[in-house]
């Protein structure tokens, strides 16, 4: 499999998809067109989302075709050169993907080597489940099951602390609850500005910040770009 799983689309103060676009361009080298899944969009249309991504992908010379325009979504996946799944609300994304049978279709396709790029919610749905998303369940999917291309869970936009004066749970506390209930599952806290590249049976952390690692019975620790991540595979 060849996966690029990105924590966030946009760094604070930057234009949309500015920081990862060069990496995406290198990752998709030789690709002329991607199938884009816009179903995480909630407060704007799928067509607007397609146009927003296309505006950035113009810089790397790649055509973006949104799957919402197809009458046969699974056929579109089967014929895709590459697949991109955008961020937004993970529950809305999951519900629509499940309704169209896209979880299984994408897993079959990427197991054949088709490149997959996901950011935020698009990274969440590559995991076994969407249980470590940060999003509000605004709609009810058939289940929490996702594509399952990787064996671990991702918490994108990972934050180390709550804002001053906020008495709610920290992100770490919420993940500790998850691993208590799911003791066999690894969870990675992927900080903003970072991404994971899985290729040729190996995985690399890309970015300038470490990634936080959680598993029941294992001391919480951090890994840095260049560290061995084979334990997650």
Catalytic residues: 120, 135, 157
Distance CA(229)–CA(233), nearest Å, equals 7
CB burial readout 185-214, b (16+ within 10 A) else e: bbbbbbbbbbbbbbeeeebebbbebbbbbb
Nearest-angstrom CA–CA distance, 161 and 226: 25
CA distances 122 to 125, 196, 227, Å, are 6, 13, 24
Q: Count Cβ atoms below 10 Å from residue 51 Cβ, excluding itself.
A: 14
Residues ≥6 apart with Cβ < 8 Å to 80? 34, 35, 109, 114
């Amino acid at each position: 499999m060849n996966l690029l799983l990105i924590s966030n689309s946009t760094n604070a103060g930057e234009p949309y998809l500015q920081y990862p676009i060069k990496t995406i361009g290198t990752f998709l080298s030789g690709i002329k067109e991607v199938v884009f899944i816009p179903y995480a969009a909630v407060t704007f249309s799928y067509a607007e989302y397609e146009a927003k991504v296309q505006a950035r992908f113009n810089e790397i010379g790649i055509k973006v075709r949104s799957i919402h325009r197809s009458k046969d979504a699974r056929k579109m996946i089967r014929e895709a050169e590459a697949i991109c799944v955008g961020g937004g609300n993970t529950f809305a994304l999951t519900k629509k993907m499940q309704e169209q049978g896209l979880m299984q279709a994408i897993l079959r396709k990427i197991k054949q080597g088709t490149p997959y790029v996901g950011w935020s919610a698009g990274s969440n749905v590559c995991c076994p489940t969407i249980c470590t998303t940060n999003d509000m369940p605004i709609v009810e999917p058939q289940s929490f099951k996702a594509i399952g291309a990787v064996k671990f869970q991702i918490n994108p936009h990972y934050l180390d602390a709550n804002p001053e004066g906020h008495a709610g749970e920290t992100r770490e506390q919420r993940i500790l609850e998850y691993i208590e209930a799911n003791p066999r599952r690894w969870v990675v806290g992927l900080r903003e500005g970072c991404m994971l590249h899985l290729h040729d049976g190996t995985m690399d952390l890309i970015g300038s910040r470490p990634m936080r690692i959680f598993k029941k019975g294992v001391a919480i620790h951090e890994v840095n770009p260049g560290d061995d991540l084979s334990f997650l595979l």
